[in-house]
Homo-oligomer: A and B are copies of this chain.
Amino acid sequence: MNDIIKQYVIEKEPYYRPVADEVELYEATYAVRMPMMLKGPTGCGKTRFVEHMAWKLNKPLITVACNEDMTASDLVGRFLLDASGTRWQDGPLAIAARHGAICYLDEVVEARQDTTVVIHPLTDARRVLPLEKKGELIQAHPDFQLVISYNPGYQSLMKDLKQSTKQRFGALDFNYPNHEIETEIVTHETGVSGEVASKLVSIAERARNLKGHGLDEGISTRMLIYAGSLIATGVNPHAACRVALVRPITDDPDMRDALDAAVTTFF
């Protein structure tokens, strides 16, 4: 394993609490190198899951946060000017394909079409990545696997994956964990007591019920960990919840009152 790829190896086990058979299923899909799509809402643990699996499978992980201004070149690579002319620089997808990493394209639906089309030849029997600008055809390393994430709630008429892209992936669903598991996660990640963590989870559950009734998204597990961290440093739970849970997600005075009331109920 060379220097470029070594920096993507995950040394320490990332904490991940399985909720069903997702770990075993993922291992099977990796065994046949099936391209995978992780579906689920913001902040429910998709990124952590793929980090955990990369660590478990002992493969380097290259993560790319997709966005609408990203071009195919940002994934595949480009020529850079050098003292002795131009020099090719592999992009993250080319590095992963060439050296055998898991390549994780986060929120791939945000990317422009050329980004999503460029991955097609890596997702069928050929498993190749054409570097058209360089005139090279990378035959993917046997360890390479492609994983993308996808938030179904974000789909719109303007921005969705093409069917011809979706059909190239197996899919796993993710959601917020149940009360007990989420409490366990918050406790583990912040150091607050199980009682405090359970209260935070209860507040989040109230907020998630408001999704679609004034809130665009509920409170995520990640936000609970932020609130717990503040409480663990000694901040008053009311202030901690205000800063970490309520103020970030809404500016509507009624919604803020409803959420503040939920905080007061539990603390």
Contacts and interface: CB of A to CB of B under 8 A. Distances in A.
Interface in A198-255: 216-217, 219-220, 222-223, 226, 229-230, 232-235, 239, 243-244, 247-249, 251
Interface in A102-160: 106-107, 110, 112-114, 116-118, 120-121, 124-125, 130, 132-133, 135, 137, 151-152, 155
A186 interface: no
The interface size bin for chain A is: 35 or more
A120 B239 contact: no
B89 A133 contact: yes
A243 B163 contact: no
A220 to B, nearest CB: 5
Contact of A226 (B170, B217, B219, B220): B170
A34 interface: yes
A243 B151 contact: no
**Which of A25, A28, A124 is packed against the most chain B CB atoms within 10 Å?**
A28
A264 interface: no
A223 B167 contact: yes
A66 interface: yes
A25 B239 CA distance: 8
Contacts of A65: 117-118, 120-121, 130
Interface of A: 4, 7-8, 21, 25, 28-29, 31-32, 34, 37, 39, 42-43, 47-48, 63-72, 74, 78-86, 89-92, 95, 106-107, 110, 112-114, 116-118, 120-121, 124-125, 130, 132-133, 135, 137, 151-152, 155, 163-164, 166-173, 216-217, 219-220, 222-223, 226, 229-230, 232-235, 239, 243-244, 247-249, 251
7 contacts: A42-B163, A63-B121, A83-B85, A167-B222, A167-B249, A168-B222, A173-B247
